[in-house]
Amino acid sequence: MERKYFGTDGVRGRVGEGAITPEFVLKLGWAAGRVLGNGHGGKVVIGKDTRISGYLFESALEAGLAAAGMDSYLLGPMPTPGIAYLTCTLHADAGIVISASHNPYYDNGIKFFSADGKKLPDEVELAIERELDGPLVSVASEHLGKAYRVSDAEGRYIEFCKRSVPWTMNFKGLRVVVDCANGAGYHIAPHVFDELGAEVIAIGVEPDGLNINAGVGSTHADHLRSEVLRNGADVGVALDGDGDRVIMCDAGGELLDGDDVLYIIATARLEAGRGDGVVVGTQMTNLGLEHALREKGIALERTRVGDRYIMERLEARGWSLGGEPSGHILCLDRTTTGDGIISALQVMAAMRASGKGLAQLREGLCKYPQILRNVHLGAASAREIMASEALREVVRSVEDELGESGRVLLRPSGTEPLIRVMIEGRDPDQVEALSSRLADAVSALLP
């Protein structure tokens, strides 16, 4: 069955358009309640980020779930991984996240966690889609769901994050800039690092419903860099709007993406006699990381782009560590999903255990020049453009020119109307020229 609504990470779009309307979200809550409750009621945990439309969709979901006989436990603003954790500890049948992650405030989305804090299996998402095609029929009044506010959600998740590092460890003496993107982590992350002993300088902690991800957070990390340098900090941590990604910064102002974070965590585990000897990345993972890990005796396996595919590979093989350059890191021996705070804590634990700064910890990693260009599609079909023989010919030409010294990746985004063009190679001038050529070839196909 072809998906009509669910993408790679739930349902997402511009508020008021397509599936991101109060009418649709109400019915989505009802359909999810019908499938997840299996006709026997139950409870669902609901959390959101700080964008203004979260109020609207929280109410719509609550109403839809109630019509299906499901109770709602409302967390308020909470990072996505916190919602996954609380879904498990509250023994809920599912968790729902109202967030568009790193997107601007005018977008929003709905994504789901299963009872074990993991993304829903494909067959469950498809079952929800089938329910959406039928009429909304409410349960009898005596079976309607209720809504409850979880008053201690913040403290529960803070303690969970702190337990991801050894209880004997503290970060006293470390000055940390924490950028919460005016998002869901604004009232969580600063407390975590503070309670672990660090001196915290918090930025991006004044959400107003419209400023989420606006010039701050992991997608605007230059702001983090400037604050680290201005405050003479030892480390910077930038989250995205829903707190599942992290970008870091060393004391010298050098930014560290997800590949750097993976390298530091993997090598720290190796030196501590832990780890699986394998890290899972994606097609976007830098070739330099693959080579650096290989020198340490650690293998890199690649999947399709998207954390759900990394998760599938890790679970299938019984491994624990994987991630994407975007900063979405999976430490499955610590939590069930990508968690920006917990990933940053693993890096800081490596700093404390080794006595080294971030720059020293990543010295063995030399990344290849990599350029990613986004070609916005407007109303054009990504599928038709990707099927173009003319475009395929350009791709073949670029691959021939790179030879064995680089890689080409051309793929449609799973969350936005654009095609991503990535070129990687040893020669930065060649990478720049070839990425322009390929992006121009995509643009030439737009109507």
Q: Are 304 and 236 in contact (CB under 8 A)?
A: no
Cβ burial, residue 324 (10 Å; 0-12/13-18/19+): buried
Pairing between strand 107-114 and 94-98? antiparallel
Q: Which of 241, 258, 244, 247 shows the shortest CA–CA distance to 224?
A: 247
Which of 238-247, 283-292, 410-419 has maximum average pLDDT? 238-247
Q: H or E stretch including 390?
A: helix 389-402
What pTM does this model have? 0.89
Confidence of residue 61 (pLDDT cuts 50, 70, 90): very high
State the average pLDDT over residues 119-131. Answer: 92
Strand ordering across the sheet containing 406-412: 370-376, 418-425, 406-412
For the chain, the residue count is: 447
The mean-pLDDT minimum among 61-75, 146-160, 253-267, 401-415 falls in 401-415
State the average pLDDT over residues 24-37. Answer: 96
Q: What domains does the chain contain, in order, with CATH numbers? A: 11-151 (3.40.120.10), 157-361 (3.40.120.10), 370-443 (3.30.310.50)
The mean-pLDDT minimum among 145-154, 271-280, 360-369, 401-410 falls in 401-410
Q: Are 435 and 371 in contact (CB under 8 A)?
A: yes
Mean pLDDT of the chain: 94
Computed over its alpha carbons, how large is the radius of gyration of the chain?
22
State the average pLDDT over residues 116-136. Answer: 93
State the average pLDDT over residues 366-370. Answer: 90
Indicate if the pLDDT at residue 275 is higher than 90: no
- For residue range 159-169, what is the model confidence (pLDDT) as tens digits? 999 999 999 99
- pLDDT for the residue numbered 381: 87
Distance from chain centroid for Cα 218: 11
- Gap between the Cα atoms of 333 and 51, Å rounded: 31
Distance from chain centroid for Cα 189: 16
- pLDDT for the residue numbered 152: 96
Which of 115-119, 220-224, 376-380, 400-404 has maximum average pLDDT? 220-224
- Gap between the Cα atoms of 200 and 57, Å rounded: 33
- pLDDT for the residue numbered 447: 83
**HSE-up of 302 (CA within 13 Å, CB side)?**
13
Q: Where in the sequence numbering do the catalytic residues fall?
A: 101
- For residue range 415-432, what is the model confidence (pLDDT) as tens digits? 688 999 999 988 899 999
State the average pLDDT over residues 368-389. Answer: 90
Q: Which of 111, 110, 114, 99 shows the shortest CA–CA distance to 42?
A: 114
Indicate if the pLDDT at residue 47 is higher than 60: yes
Q: Are 177 and 44 in contact (CB under 8 A)?
A: no
